[in-house]
A and B are shown apart, each in its own frame.
Chain A
Amino acid sequence: MGMTITEKILAAHAGTAKVEPGEIISVGLDVVLANDITAAVAIPELKKMGFTNVFDNTKVVFVMDHFVPNSDVKAAMQCKIGRDFARACKLEHFYDAGTMGIEHVLLPEKGLVLPGDVIIGGDSHTCTYGALGAFSTGVGSTDLAAGMARGQLWFKVPASIKFIYKGKLPVFVSGKDLILFTIGRIGVDGALYKAMEFTGEVVEELSVDSRFTMCNMAVEAGAKNGIIAPDKKIEGFVKNRARRPYRFFNSDPDALYEETYEFDISELEPQVAFPHLPSNTKNVSEADNILIDQVVIGSCTNGRMEDLRVAADILKGRKIHPYVRVIVIPATQDIYLQAIQEGLIEIFIQAGAAVSTPTCGPCFGGHMGVLAAGERCVSTTNRNFVGRMGHQTSEVYLAGPAVAAASALKGRIADPREVV
């Protein structure tokens, strides 16, 4: 019996030829990631465990991105815990305001996470790096502390679910629409504890950016990791970024899957996840005159170049609805700069959008665009839980950048096909 890509990566890091779903193994970690929020809890725990340093100052990466630039004194004090520790341990990869980006966009961009790696992060969307063909998963702060201290962590090998996407991507349909559609089909616990493996001709055609978007939201179906077999596109993405060797793994043809789903997406419409679950997905045409107050374009899900280009194409030469606030947040400094050079930032500003330095900000209701009671936001982020972006009675509708930009113009949830 063959193995899946997830099983192969885990076996290689456990120093064994074969692993099976359900088996508990201890694996070596290539990268351990923490952000300002989770580092602040993990650092005291690491000290309580009796450690004063990290296992390897080149493999522990800190990104101050959630409440950064600091939103208030408490946030500043919290970040200081991470900043002081990073300095004391001489972390080689420490990113703060001015160099930082949203962690899950920044790490691949800097070549810090690579195909074949095992990565843990104190953030649930650490699963994003599966797009490179890595095993990557989110953990809490105690596991994070143990991982930072020892460079090892135990895992139960997950069973895999295979998703096959067939057909041809319709216009304005992107990785975000595929993953929203998928979560809508299987539910927010449809892949609980499992590996989601995305395959098929549509995935092969997908851009690297859209692949990140898909793997990013695997956790929204409860998955341990999302993963896509690496190919030429991934080789192109990593070859000039990597500063250490990496390895491509592939699932065997006779690998065992717990379930297989096959979707023909040739007729798929842009998708919108209505409040208050990412699985509450509908076709954009079903959104019947839903008036909105805010649009957010950014986050670790959709703050990449492709997303900004799609949004700018729609907003170019047009004006945002007068009673809608649009906040555009390029996910990293490099993306921000590239967007300036391509003229996208000018398009956003002329259309009437606020453009911000990279930050998680509004995505988790932290700062930079928190919603008031009863307000509605169309957001390219990944969660629309009750109160996620602010007041408990506010509402978040999740969509891709095309729907977000079209909605910004119309002042209601709009189909991009209506405005161009």
Chain B
Amino acid sequence: MSGRAYVFGDNVDTDLIVPGRFLTLSTPEELAGVCMAGLDAGFASRLRQGDVFVAGRNFGCGSSREHAPISIKAAGICCVIAVSFARIFYRNAINIGLPVLESKSAARSIREGDEIAVELQEGRIINLTQEETYTFTPFPGFIMDIIREGGLVNYLKNRSTDRGGN
């Protein structure tokens, strides 16, 4: 997967990603349109399928609203790269099949607009613009499966004899 990078700072909170006033929306289709509306109401409309979010520390802090990763994924973002993630956001993102990658070197080096390719299995992030490669620890097998299958719900459905998966 590959796309353009959008770069944010530290402590991007879930109120910024999906402000409280939009929390009466709950479907991915509706939520796609308000992605990052706390920053800029028109933000979502500029995103293209495959684009990448890059951020500093503690991305996704604040509310447990799963609306935040749902809106990011539904808006077409293929993965979020950050120095670190807030705990609930991290878990939510995996659960809905949005890859969240911890890579300090990538997060600190990538600039707004860089073309980024991500190889999830290999644990590689390639910056095509700056011609650099960064690494991250690849996900263990079952997390890769959850992501590949589009989230925990599908993962559990696909293993209906093994509902003990979570």
Q: Which of these, B62, B67, B88, B91, contacts A383 with CB under 8 Å?
A: B62
Choose among A67, A152, A366 the residue that contacts B166 (Cβ–Cβ < 8 A): A152
User: Of all chain A residues, which has the CB nearest B21?
Assistant: A365
CB-defined contacts of A153 to chain B, threshold 8 Å: 166
Q: Say which one of A108-116, A142-150, A259-267, A324-332 lies at the interface with B.
A: A142-150
- Contacts A139-B88, A146-B152, A388-B15; A123 near B64 (Cβ below 8 A): yes
A143-B69 Cα distance, complex, nearest whole Å = 14
Q: Residue A78 at the B interface, CB < 8 A?
A: yes
Nearest Cβ in chain B — how far from A196, in angstroms?
13
Assembled-state Cα–Cα distance A89/B67 (Å): 25
A411 within 8 A of B: no
Given A48-B153, A277-B11, do A370 and B21 touch, yes or no (CB 8 Å)? yes
Instruction: Give the CA-CA distance A40 to B70 in the complex, in Å.
Output: 14
Contacts of B13 in A (CB 8 A): 383, 385-386
CB distance from B7 to the nearest CB of A (A): 17
In the bound complex, what is the Cα–Cα distance between A48 and B156 (angstroms)?
A: 9
Asked if B63 and A364 make an inter-chain contact with CB atoms under 8 angstroms apart, the answer reads: yes
Bound form: Cα–Cα A179–B145 in Å: 40
Q: In whole Å, how far is B119's beta carbon from the nearest beta carbon of chain A?
A: 26
Any A CB within 8 A of the CB of B123: no
Q: Which residues between 43 and 79 of chain B lie within 8 Å of chain A, taking CB atoms?
A: 57-58, 61-67, 69-70
Chain A 358-395 interface mask (CB, 8 Å, partner B; 1/0): 00000011100010000000000001011110101000
In contact, A49 and B64 (Cβ under 8 angstroms): no
Q: Are A74 and B24 in touch, CB under 8 angstroms?
A: yes
CB pair A192–B24 under 8 Å, yes or no, is no
Contact check, A72 vs B61: say whether CB atoms are below 8 A apart. no
Nearest CB on A from B15, distance (A)? 4
Tell yes or no: A138 within 8 A of B by CB: yes
Judged by a CB distance under 8 angstroms, whether B16 is at the interface is yes
* Cβ of B64 to closest chain A Cβ, rounded Å: 4
Which residues of chain A come closer than 8 Å to B64, judged between CB atoms?
38, 122-124, 126, 138-140
Choice from A45, A48, A126, A365 contacting B20 with Cβ under 8 Å: A365
Q: Tell me the minimal C-beta distance from A27 to chain B in angstroms.
A: 12
Partner among A139, A366, A383 whose Cβ is within 8 Å of the Cβ of B21: A366
CB distance from A134 to the nearest CB of B (A): 18
Interface string of B151-166 (1 = CB under 8 A from A): 1110011001001101
Does B23 touch A at the CB level, under 8 Å? yes
**A385–B12 CA distance with the chains assembled, in angstroms:** 9
* Assembled-state Cα–Cα distance A141/B163 (Å): 17
What's the nearest-Cβ distance from chain A to residue B152, in Å? 5
- Check: B87 CB closer than 8 A to any chain A CB: yes
A13 on the B face (CB < 8 A): no
Q: B38 near A386 (CB under 8 angstroms)?
A: yes
Cβ of A314 within 8 Å of any chain B Cβ, yes or no, is: no
Q: Contact flags (1/0) for B63-103 with A, using CB distance below 8 Å?
A: 11111011000000000000010111101100110000000
CB-based nearest B residue for A190:
B58
Which of B's residues lie within 8 Å of A, judged by CB? 11, 13, 15-16, 19-21, 23-26, 38, 57-58, 61-67, 69-70, 84, 86-89, 91-92, 95-96, 151-153, 156-157, 160, 163-164, 166
User: Which residues of A pack against B, CB within 8 Å?
Assistant: 26, 37-38, 40-41, 45, 48-50, 66-67, 72, 74-75, 77-78, 122-124, 126, 138-143, 145-146, 150, 152-154, 188-189, 192-193, 219, 222, 224, 277, 364-366, 370, 383, 385-388, 390, 392
Q: State the 4 A-B residue pairs at the shortest beta-carbon distance, nearest first.
A: A140-B92, A74-B24, A142-B95, A140-B66
A-B contact pairs, 8 of them (CB 8 A): A26-B164, A48-B153, A50-B163, A152-B164, A153-B166, A193-B87, A224-B87, A365-B19
